[in-house]
A = this chain, B = another copy of it.
Amino acid sequence: MQKARLVVLAALVVGVVTLAALPAGAHVSISPSSAPKGGFEVLSFNVPNEAPDANTIKLEVQIPTKYPIASVSTQPMAGWTVEVQKTTLSKPVATDDGDVTEAVSRITWTATAGGLNPGEFDLFTISAGPLPTKPNKLTFKAIQTYSNGDVVNWIQQTVKGAPEPEHPAPTLTLTAAGSDHH
């Protein structure tokens, strides 16, 4: 009995260790993965098409507004249209162009030429700044829609020390202002 328990425990431990050692699958991620607080940055959402027989036809990214980013713009992308949604801020952000009272809260890219095929990835790129100075991380939830109707919600929080979730939300680490993050 005691021995059987030990065997089960050992098996569990081995299982956990094996899980932790497994390489992660391809995820929707942000490149670069870190940027200085207060700076302007070009950020690319790296989106893999993981379906063997469907195309990625839509990507929606939620821009965090708890610590709003006054200026967010999108890079034109052949084969995709982009729709930008703004939200009114409860607390305006002071900038050198005056108070900013609304901020981009959602960006939706929609394919006009078939989207991403199996085996492809693409970069969906924005320019954003000034990045907030307070939090150490910004989470950009992303929703990926496939041509077969499948929707993948990349919205799970990554908890330090815990195993990586299956569909982590893309996260940008904010480094000390002026630090060389590259």
The residues of A with any CB-CB pair to B shorter than 8 Å are 19, 22-27, 29, 31-32, 38, 40, 42, 44, 46, 48-49, 70-71, 73-76, 78-79, 84, 93-97, 116-117, 119-123, 127, 129-130, 164, 166, 180-182
Contacts and interface: CB of A to CB of B under 8 A. Distances in A.
Interface of A is mostly: loop
A25 B25 CA distance: 38
A24 B96 contact: yes
A19 B182 contact: no
A40 B27 CA distance: 9
Contacts of A23: 38, 70, 93-96, 129-130
B127 A73 contact: no
5 contacts: A23-B129, A26-B127, A42-B46, A180-B181, A181-B182
